[in-house]
Every structure is written in structure tokens, then in C-alpha cells.
Structure 1
């Protein structure tokens, strides 16, 4: 049971669930793009 509780906490921490959802601000009509993207592979030799 203790392991299951720790697993749930780790899963929620990993997915970024830190509170209830917050509505986005109203934007003007049209194309609106925002956010952050990180991609890549990191290795050490």
C-alpha cells in the first residue's frame, strides 16, 4: 500500500499536475500561438 501511494505521488509530480486547471486569458480573434517546446537527445560518451 505504501508503494502504491508513493507511485501515485511520483506520477502526478511527473505529469505536472500541480493544481486545478486555470482558464486561459481571452485572446483577440485570429491566429494565436504560444508555448514552449523542447526536443532532442542527450548522450554522454
Structure 2
């Protein structure tokens, strides 16, 4: 799972260089939840360009 997350962050970083047009800004988020079932960790990565946002939640 760490490899997938690292690959997605790397890809988002490379696409943010803006070689062709306006740069795409990478986005990322991490969440921790505590409940009766225990502690769970989640995260998301994505990219934003103008009004359009694309993301993947893990």
C-alpha cells in the first residue's frame, strides 16, 4: 500500500510541473478515525486544475 501511495504522489508531483499549459496542483489528505472497531487510517491523493479535481481515496 505504501508503494501505491508513493507512486500516486510521485505521479501527481510530476504532472504538477505544468510543461504544457497551466500547472496541475497536486492534492493530498490523511485521516484517522477511532471507533468501536478500532483505529483506522485513510488517505487520498489527486490533482486539481481550475474547477476540475480528480482524486483517489485509499
Which has more strand, going by share of residues? 2
Q: TM-score range by the shorter chain?
A: 0.3 to 0.5
Which has more helix, going by share of residues? 1
Which TM-score applies when normalising by structure 2? 0.32
Ranked by relative contact order (alpha carbons within 8 Å, sequence separation 6 or more), the top structure is: 2
